[in-house]
Structure 1
Amino acid sequence: MQNKTNTQSKFKPLIVVSGLYLLLMIVLSVGDLSEFKEMKPNEWGDFLAGTFAPLAFMWLVFGYRQQGEELKQNTEALKLQAEELKNSVEQQKQLVKVTQVELELIKNKDDRQIKLETINAQPFFHFYEMKIAPLLQNPDGTTMGLLEFSFSLKNSRGVCREISITNANYNRSLILTTQFDLLENETSAEKIKLYLPFEFEYKNGESFPVDLEINYHDAYDIKQFQIIELSVERDYSSEELAFKMHTKRKGQSF
């Protein structure tokens, strides 16, 4: 709208000049009417060409200038559009980044929730009344063959089913696998007794690990396992040959 108004304002002086020029030509021609009557056609052509050539040249120059200004304005408009498009692209990029951050936060929250639910579906085993007794040993008690492990197992978290306990680090040795169907949360402890046949030469100050692999189905009925390390040490507080054990959670499947 503004460009149209500017163009009209530029047209007015040019129209006035053109009108004055034509009026001047008419006034000059009225005094020589007799000569116009005697003019031949080619003279008329020369007269009209000479009369209107300056006027046509003036309009031609005005048209070129007007076209150049319009082209400049179109160029500026294209630059503004390009700048707006660039700003829009940058805003879209920022929006995509914000969306990615939000999705990552949602994903992390979901992952943490799934991890928490998975952990809550697992049992948490507690060992009580742990005892170890060598059933086969040499007279001085330094070499042991068959070991008897006994302890009470209790669960303080998710219910577990079809539990079996085996030895994880002596695959070639047969262990008497203990199995039971159900270990609920905060119920009475399950009494476990295991026999491990392997030869161990005991030296003063040494301890040896026994890894118990507890296989079970969790609260989601998914098969899982936990590995509990029993660290066996000589108990010097007793006059007889005795041992004490410490537990450490070593591995798991979830």
Structure 2
Amino acid sequence: MLAIFEQSIAKPPLELSLPLAGQPDKKTRQEIAQIFRSQKPGDSTLYRLPNGNFLGVSHGGETPSHPRSVIVMEDIFCIFSGALDNTPDLRKYYGLSRQATEAMIMVEAYKVLRDRAPYPPDQVIKDLQGKFAFILFDSKDSTLFLARDREGSVPLHWGATGDGSLICCSDAELIKAASGKCYTPFPPGCIFLSESGLTSFDHPLHKVKAMIREDDDGSVNAIIFQVDFYTRLHSIPRRGSASNWAGTTVVEGE
């Protein structure tokens, strides 16, 4: 899984842009797209979106325990990795057929969040049971939605590119090459939504903070995000429908 979006859609936390010790040059969005296609020949699909944003998925290295599925429905893109243990219950809840994949379920869950504002984002994620990570983008609403299971069972990393765009990727080597070491694991049990930022779906009233680790000489060598149980938010982040976002999509695949 790969996603890169400009700051106007998904602004990375400031800590992801901190210079790390021994950090090489970061790549541009266009350079990262080229790296993705060169490293994933023959089994990858790249969705090129307006303004140089894009989503990518590859089935290379896929395992039975962490299958990947992708769906595009009503201008909503969803890439899902992993499996849900309560898929039959979720299909019934959202009125879907028995053929509905996990990616389809997440699109329906997102539509509930989008269309029934104000609605806390943790409500559509906390009942998911299983090992998963997903990247969802609503091209009409210009909204990016990410989540990872409580144990962090499925790989998902995020970081900042050379122009300050947000990059999310399941491949550690790819994101390392793209962001110049300026990346870290996406925190388990958390959600990132364009308007409300990073929150915990188990502890939505507590802030998720970045913990910065330094070498003996004071250089930053790691950034880890975790729930801060000493900092309580005033209210649960909520969001509503925004103005439509027009744009065309070009799909590349082999």
TM-score by length of 2: 0.19
Structure showing the higher helix proportion among its residues: 1
The structure showing larger relative contact order (alpha-carbon pairs under 8 Å, at least 6 residues apart) is 2
Structure with larger Rg: 1
